[in-house]
Amino acid sequence: MAGTSSGIVAGLTAVAVGTVGFLAYQAQAHVPANLGSPSSAGASPSAAVSKAPRDRRHPTALPGGSGKGERVVYSVDDDRVWLVDDRDRVQRTFSVHPGLVDPAPGHYWVTSRSNAVTGTDGVPVEHVVRFTSVDGVAIGFSAAVGGGAPANTESGVKTGGIRETRADGDEMWKFATIGVPVVVIR
């Protein structure tokens, strides 16, 4: 009887893994071609051309010209992220440690997510939220499983991981689901 139970469990596990793989393939196959590409139509000139205006008295305040509605705002110059709700209120802001490859300023969307993977620098990461790629390097937010370590930039490997603390990564994971806008500013 124990052998039969093991076989049933193994069979059910195989079916479950196959189903998840098939659904992941289907989801990837039906993603619009432009979903991870910057949108020039929606990009505001201040976000795409120059540095978005900052409040000098409140350096962590959401920069002007960073869009409207629910979105993730990422400043490549300030290494800072803002999670903004649909009423343009900042839900959370935090500093990040970027990899070696930066995305161009513009409007993107979350295109894929992974609960746990190994980063291109060999560090185990969790709550990976990807929104574009540059020259074949995936760009996205993630948290190092062992803590808030920045991406290993000493290895010479081109990394697109924008590292957050685990607490910030948890909030990003809850907020930035597939299709949520990501606005990259200077």
Residues 25 and 79 in one domain: no
Residues 15 and 42 in one domain: no
The lowest-confidence range among 32-36, 143-147, 179-183 is 32-36
Q: What is the pLDDT of residue 87?
A: 96
pLDDT of residue 8 exceeding 80 = no
Residues 26 and 51 in one domain: no
Q: Which residues contact 177 (CB under 8 A, 6 or more apart)?
A: 110, 113
Q: What is the pLDDT of residue 130?
A: 98
Residues 76 and 168 in one domain: yes
Instruction: Please tell me which residue, 37 or 4, carries the higher pLDDT value.
Output: 4
Supply the mean pLDDT for the chain.
79
Specify whether the CB–CB gap between 83 and 90 falls below 8 A: yes
Residues 62 and 111 in one domain: yes
Q: Determine if the pTM surpasses 0.75.
A: no
Q: What is the pLDDT of residue 22?
A: 38
pLDDT of residue 15 exceeding 50 = no
Q: What is the pLDDT of residue 148?
A: 52
Q: What is the pLDDT of residue 121?
A: 83
Q: What is the pLDDT of residue 60?
A: 85
Q: How far apart are CA 53 and CA 17, in angstroms?
A: 48
**pLDDT grade, residue 122 (50/70/90)?**
confident
Q: What is the pLDDT of residue 26?
A: 44
Total domains, the chain: 2
Q: What share of the chain is helix, strand, coil (3-state, %, to 5)?
A: 25, 30, 45
Residues 43 and 81 in one domain: yes
Specify whether the CB–CB gap between 162 and 74 falls below 8 A: yes
Domain that holds residue 82: 37-185
Helix (H, G, I), strand (E, B) or coil at 113: strand
**pLDDT grade, residue 158 (50/70/90)?**
confident
- Summarised one tens digit per residue, pLDDT across range 37-51 is 554 433 333 334 346
Helix (H, G, I), strand (E, B) or coil at 37: coil
Share of the chain above pLDDT 70, in %: 66
What stretches of 119-186 adopt beta strand conformation (E)?
124-134, 137-144, 161-164, 181-185
